[in-house]
Amino acid sequence: MLLTAHRGIWNAETLELRSALCEELAGLAAELRDPAVDVGVQEHLTQLHAERGELAHARAAVERWRQLADELGQPTPRWVSTYMLAGLELLHGRLAVGERLAGQAFQIGQESVPSDAAQVYGGQLGFIRRYQGRADELIERQEQAVSAHPGVVAWRAGLAGSLCWLDRHAEANSILDDAASDGFEHVAPVLTMLATLALYADAAAQTRHVKAAKTLYRRMEPFSKQVVWMTIQGYGHVRLWLGLLADVLGDHEQADEHLGFACEFHEANELQLWAARGDLGWAEALAARGDASGAQEHATRALELSREHGYGAFEPRAAALVETTAEA
């Protein structure tokens, strides 16, 4: 019952309640000494630790989970634990490692739930290609998916983000106009809620969409202590997005406070993808305010990380800023 309850209420709003349930569940599992129950415990611990930013603990839990799944010889737990390990690698920005593990998970998933395995693999591959700077390879499929399934709001938010990385801001802006028309209330409290809001926040930051930014900031602020995590990938600390949104709204002091925390958190926890995104966003914000030296410092760091880890989406913009601010 506890295993089922956790899954049934899984969203960012229930983190404290789910943590309490998992603590009770872990105690029962220790008494029962049943590997099948422990598999469920480690699954939930992986999620909770990731959401709370306890990333070393999340990795330990998923590794334990994979070990138990292998011992039990059950394909579905093996598939889920493998794609979630891939997701943690993607959260950290280790794109090549994440892609290798995602491929392994896809192969395992073919033995149990082929259609779900294909969808998960497609989602992880799309994430990788976007941040490698290869969004042009997936944009047509994204547009087709959104057209065929308009009710899947996470896909629409992902499309807006991809369009921005292709400098198609007018189209992304149109998606934001529509999404903001009901105050983003159509983004329901489900597992993908926080990731959907983060993707919209990225698009709002890049298009400077004030109306969307204002509502998104309000929606995301209650989760300012969490990491954006949705099992197959993650989008950094919530305060990264709050910082970028605050800058759009002209609250520069608040923006700098959020971005400073986010960059420090990402660097300390080796979330290099999001460290690079934070430094790039902060550099662009500072450049717009006329702070050339601050902009160059953060753009240089974003460029270093992008070149080292293959973040082709960020590299051209970071390089352009480094050159521009050096001249200033």
At 46, which CATH number?
1.25.40.10
Q: Are residues 252 and 294 in the same domain?
A: no
Q: Are residues 62 and 114 in the same domain?
A: yes
CA 257 remoteness from chain centre: 21
Q: Are residues 248 and 310 in the same domain?
A: no
- For residue 218, give the nearest of 234, 235, 238 by alpha carbon: 238
- For residue 237, give the nearest of 198, 287, 182 by alpha carbon: 198
140 domain-assigned: yes
Alpha helical stretches, state H, 190-291: 193-207, 210-220, 238-248, 252-268, 272-289
Range of the domain at 107: 2-131
Q: Are residues 96 and 145 in the same domain?
A: no
- Name the residue with tokens 């469920």: 40
CA dist 278 and 257 (Å) reads 12
238 domain-assigned: yes
The three-point CA angle 294-296-298 to 5° equals 70
Q: Are residues 64 and 141 in the same domain?
A: no
Taking a C-beta distance cutoff of 8 angstroms, is the pair 139, 162 a contact?
yes
Domain stops at, among 73, 105, 131: 131
265 domain-assigned: no
CA dist 285 and 187 (Å) reads 28
Query: What per-residue confidence (pLDDT) applies to 2?
Result: 67
Q: Are residues 127 and 140 in the same domain?
A: no
264 domain-assigned: no
Alpha-carbon distances of 162 from 137, 201, 216, rounded to whole Å? 10, 12, 18
Domain stops at, among 97, 114, 131: 131
- For residue 130, give the nearest of 101, 175, 82, 93 by alpha carbon: 93
Query: What per-residue confidence (pLDDT) applies to 328?
Result: 65
Query: What per-residue confidence (pLDDT) applies to 10?
Result: 83
Q: Are residues 123 and 183 in the same domain?
A: no
- Name the residue with tokens 């634990």: 81
287 domain-assigned: yes
Q: Are residues 127 and 138 in the same domain?
A: no
Q: Are residues 244 and 316 in the same domain?
A: no
Q: Are residues 142 and 247 in the same domain?
A: yes
Number of residues assigned to the chain: 328
Q: Are residues 170 and 249 in the same domain?
A: yes
CA dist 81 and 112 (Å) reads 13
156 domain-assigned: yes
* Sheet strands (E) in the chain: 227-229, 234-237
Residue-by-residue pLDDT tens, the chain, 328 positions: 666 776 778 889 999 998 888 888 888 777 878 777 888 888 889 999 999 999 999 999 999 989 988 888 888 889 999 999 999 999 999 999 999 999 999 999 988 887 899 999 999 999 999 999 999 999 999 999 999 988 899 999 999 999 999 999 999 999 999 999 999 999 999 999 999 999 999 999 999 999 999 999 999 999 999 999 999 999 999 999 999 999 999 999 999 999 999 999 999 999 999 999 999 999 999 999 999 999 999 999 999 999 999 999 999 999 999 999 887 6
C-alpha neighbours within 13 Å on the C-beta side of residue 44? 28
Domain stops at, among 230, 258, 286: 258
CA dist 78 and 105 (Å) reads 8
Q: Are residues 278 and 199 in the same domain?
A: no
263 domain-assigned: no
Count: domains in the chain: 3
